[in-house]
Structure 1
Amino acid sequence: MAPLVSPRPASATLPGGSQAGAEPRPSETSGTTDLFFGTIHLYRELGAEPSTTAEKRRAKDEDDGRAVGLVSVPGVLNAAALLEFIAPALDDVEQVRMLRDATPNRSLVLVRFHDAAKADEFKRMYDGKPYHDSKDSEICHVVSISSIKLKATSTPPPQVDPVSGRELVELPTCPVCLDTLDARANGGLVSVLCGHSFHCSCLLRWRDSRCPVCRYSNARQRRNTVSETSDAKCAVCQSPSNLWICVICGNVGCGRYQGGHAHSHFGETGHSYSLEISTGRIWSYLDDEYVHRLIRLRPSESSPASDGRLIELPSLPIAASASAARAGAGAGAGAGPGRDAEVEQDKLEALAVSYGDLMSSQLASQREWFEEELAREKDRVRVSEARRDELEGEVGRLRGALKEADRRAERERSEGKRGRDELEARVDKLRREAAHEADERRRERTEATKARRALEKDLDAERAVTASLSRNLASLRDDLAAQTGETAAVRSEVDDLKDQLNDLLAALSLRDRIEQAGPDSEMAGASLGVAPAPRQAAGAAEGPRNPSAAKAAARRKKKKK
């Protein structure tokens, strides 16, 4: 958005008035402030066509994205409160400018930063953030400012002599601290609604809602002049009568018998003092009474009893009517002011002049005193800076020595740690080796025990098998002996049977030959006889020595069993 301001410089004047019944006097001015009047227009960029390279370069030269705007800032938020609201970002702020909006009790604030990134960060941080912690607080709306254009109806006078031809501009001074208003050297600047500029740090400590310069230069109307009737209206219901203005923030509201918006403002903000525009009286909502124009009498020789007594001065209309009555006491209808009024006027003017001279002298002496204090403070600062430099040098040397000691200690610690680590590693290795050897010995003992038990078990089994085999062998030997005897007997019988069979076969063969030979054969009628064999005894003796016969006898015995 880009605000377009059409300023028209004017002079904010506090006019004076004439006494009732006297000839009109020319308006008197106690202070002036240059203000700029105009109309603020906000434009949103929509449907922008693609820019050329030259246009982009020109736009970058004209605007670098460092400006943002706070739209519809409430009127109760004065410059100090606004600076306190944006205090976390003041280090990056170059300048702040407050502009009065056409909406009642609203203003537009322009903030320029040193860097575009800080402006974007400020927009992200504060856009949508409430101004106060209360539930019904208004929301801060931050928009990016692409360009600012001013259309002036007149050209202001140049600040520098044009004949010189040099671009030299005298920097103004801050009215609070009297330092130059240079944003690059003194931090951010803020311009309030009346056009005066201050350092952000200076105005942040100013808790009054009024401008410090306007509060001093634009004094109240002189003497007992009645204020002119303004066209003020209630900010809520637009009522022009029974109006009260908050003496803290300037909010205008109607009385409790009209709409009660002034009292509602007290309930919302806690601003407890309100001034009645028509009479000038001030009402305190906390005490529920008038607290305007209360003064404390000084002690005097004529009336010592009045020491410290509080009295109330009459309001503006009452004072005006009383002054008019005194002025008309010595003059007829249409005549000028009386001599008493002129004498009183001269006294008041002399008092005002003396008071002005006193204020000027006091301010001059105060300025001299502050300048002397500032010079002494600068001397103390220089001495402190020199001492600080010495201390910083000493601290630097001590820090160097401390760093060297730290390095040595760190080196020693590292070496000790390395040696300790090596020893611990060796101890751990020896412990692991000892544990491994113990495990090996334990495992060997376990295996030996197991092997011994297995061997003992095998030995017992072998012994049992051997005993069983011994028993079986004895029985087998007995069986073998018996089988051997039986085998020998059987063999002898077989031999006998073989001999008998041979003899029988021989006899049968011989018979057949005899029968074939017939009765004429010489062997006809012969007889056969069997002679004992001489090998019978020898066969009986050799029978037991034949292993095959013994095996056959054993097999026959097993089959019988």
Structure 2
Amino acid sequence: MPSKSVPSSSPPPPSRASSAITDSIRRPRSQSTCSHSRERQEPSTSSVDKYEFWAGNPSVHMTTGLIYVDEFDFNTKAGRSSSSSSTAVDYDGFEPTVLLCPCVSKDTPPTEVVAVWESYQAGVEQYKVLHGPYPESYLLLVLVGGSDSHANARQLVGGASSSLPLLEVTACRIDAAVSKTVDDMLAPVQLFAPVLTKEHQCSICLDPLLYSPSATSTGGQAACGGGGVALTILCGHSFHWKCLSKWCDRSCPVCRFQQYPSRCSSCDVCGEADSMKLMVCLVCGFIGCCDNEGYSGFVEDGLSGAGGGGDDRHHYTHAYAHYLESDHAFAMQVSTQSVYDFSEGGFVGLTGRASQESGDDEASEDSKGSCKKVKHAAKKILQGDEEDIMTEFNEVYATLQESQQQHYEEIFEEIRARNRESYSVATGQRDEILSRLCDAKDELDVVDEERTQLKSEEEEVTSALEKLNLACDGLKEERRELDDVVAGLKKDIQRRKIASMVRAKKLHSEKADLREQMKDLKQYLSMRAQVEKSGATDADVQGSFVIAQNTNRRSRRNRR
């Protein structure tokens, strides 16, 4: 089997389940209420994939269950589908093969997938859409018939892998199914119940939806309409796929049940996003919610209280609160697009809902009142009472116009009052803001002046600083010169100091010599005076003196 691809916008398919089916699935199988069911073997013990599904309109009838699928065997001729998928339905001696597209993106309409597969003419009898486990994708069942349904299915699966790469659609064979609604095992073909017959017609072209299981099957194509294979959409209604492809909306053409993609509306008051609890006003577009029990309980409350229950049945719903406030009586259900009349306390045209194949009896009984009204109006038209009807319509329309005009005038007056109050408050705030703005502007002017003054002072300080820097550089140069001069003076002083010391030392020695000479002179004078007193001659005195002088000088030289 080709590898299963999953759309990029959708979550991955369910993980492969264990080979042993859980005990809850292996419960004893009772006889199914469906006329086509019989006892069948349990799902194969080989590894299978399991998918949850549900189908139908939640406001009418739903079917839930599990589908077990197995890989499609390309090698075997007959495949395990023919041996294991036994069923009590006789298709002219041929047993169909049921395939499943497990994960088709909600952005891909089923008609687009069918259009590609129809080019293979693989004997497809019917297609059916189911809800899967993920909101971003859906399941597509394919019923393949013909004398060799396995070969046709093999051709279809090969075409899916080669022709639908952009749609990311693959197929696998269904091994078994479990219905949670009836709590029983189902054959794969029973997922298409009820079986289409010649009595079923396409609601668009009104041609029969032929289900021909013979070898020469037309593939579900109507003989006269030519609308293509029958396609059963999520709510349970069936159409020719070509007819449905011309329907531009994603809702059902019959019941207006919203198919994929689901709408993302929410209540304008509380934000409730469940489509089964939302209603849209057909006059102003207001979105409101109903009670917590859903629309089935909502309809029952409305119809049971119509006789005398009053309006308390909608006391807690925002949709009804909007009706009381605006007198907008008609609102549309988001999920089924049915119109509800608050003034009458019921849905408009309940006959459309009662005509569902699996509709309940209560809806049919509740629709009798609307049928009588429609028949009464038709009877008046047939009897020629068109003028009375037009007069009544004009009166009702005029009354509705006047009430709506009064309602919107009250709303406009409230809006004007709120606007006037808001305008007065905004005017006061504006004046206060303008006053603050003027004060801020004056402060800004003062700040600008101070900034200009500070800038000029900064320029002056900068120029003075530059001058001081230049003067500092000059003083540094002069200091270096003075340092050089001081160093020279120090050297000169040192030199002079040394010279003065030498000179002082020399003077000291000369002074000592002078003292010696003075001493010698005194001695000489003293001796001469003594000689003169003694009467010695000059020669004697000279000789004595010479001797004495030579001795003293020699002694001085020795001291030196």
Q: TM exceeds 0.5?
A: no
Rg comparison, structure with higher value: 1
What TM-score comes out, normalization by structure 1 length?
0.32
